[in-house]
Amino acid sequence: MDSLALTSLPDLWDRVFASQPDPDRWVVIATLVAALAVVVPHGLWRVARNAITIAHEGGHGLVALLTGRTLTGIRLHSDTSGLTVSRGKPYGLGMILTAAAGYTAPPLLGLGGAALLAAGHITLLLWLATALLVVMLVMIRNAYGVLTVVLTGGMFLLVSWLAGPQVQAAFAYAVVWFLLVGGVRPAFELQTKRAREGARDSDADQLSRLTHVPAALWLFLFHTVSLCSVMGGGRWLLGV
C-alpha cells in the first residue's frame, strides 16, 4: 500500500502539471461561439450569470484576505447578486483594492486561464478552479450560495477526473471564453442601472466615496480591464 502511494504521487503530479496538446482549431472556435450564445441572449445570461457572480464575489474575498482584512462571509443570491463582508478599516488601500476586485475578477481570471491554456496546462486549470471553489465554499453563508458553488465545483471535479483529454480541453476552453466574454457584460449592466436607477451602493460608487474619484472613472476602469482581457486572452486562445 505504501509503495502504491509513493508511486501514485509522482503520477498525480505529472497528471496535474504536465502540458496537454492544444485542441483542434474548430474546438476553440466552437467554444467561443457557445460562450457568446450563453452571454448574449438575456434568458440564458440570467442563469449563467451566477457563475460570474461566483467569480465576482470570490475576487472581493480573495483580495480582502490578501490585503489583511478579515473575511466574514460570502452570500450568493438567486437573482445573481451577491455580498462579501469583511472586517477591517473602512478606508485605505486594502478597502479600495477589495472594492475594485469584484468587476475585474472574472475577466482577469479568464485572462489567467487563457495564459494557462496557451501553455497547454488544461488539467492544471481545472484543478486550480476546483481548489478555489472549495476554498470559497468554506466562506459561503447561505444555502443558495452553497448549492451554487457545490454544483459548479462538482462539475469541474467530474470533468477533471473522469473525462477524456478532448472533453477536458473543450470544457476548459468554454469556461475561459465564458469568463472573458461574460466578464464584459456586467460593467455595461452597471452603467445602464446607474443611468436609470442611480445604484448608489454599487462598487463604483463605493470606490468613488473611498477615493473621491468619480464613479464614472471607476466604471471606465472596469470596462478597460474587461475589454483588454477579452482581447488579450482571445489572442492567446486563438493563437494569433
Low-confidence ranges of the chain (pLDDT < 50): 1-7
Instruction: Give the pLDDT confidence score for residue 9 in this predicted structure.
Output: 63
Cα–Cα distance between 165 and 15 in angstroms, integer? 11
Q: What pTM, to 2 d.p., does this model score?
A: 0.92
Tell me the backbone φ, ψ of residue 21, rounded to 5 degrees.
-65, 150
The answer for 185, left when phi > 0, alpha when psi is -120 to 50, beta otherwise, is alpha
C-alpha 134: how far from chain center: 14
* pLDDT number for residue 14: 62
Closest CA to 67 of 86, 47, 46, 85: 86
DSSP annotation of 140: B
Q: For 25-47, write each residue's pLDDT tens digit.
A: 999 999 999 999 999 999 999 99
pLDDT at 13: 62
The pLDDT of residue 11 is 66
Give per-residue pLDDT as tens, 138-173.
999 999 999 999 999 999 999 988 888 899 999 999
Domain ranges of the chain: 20-56+103-238
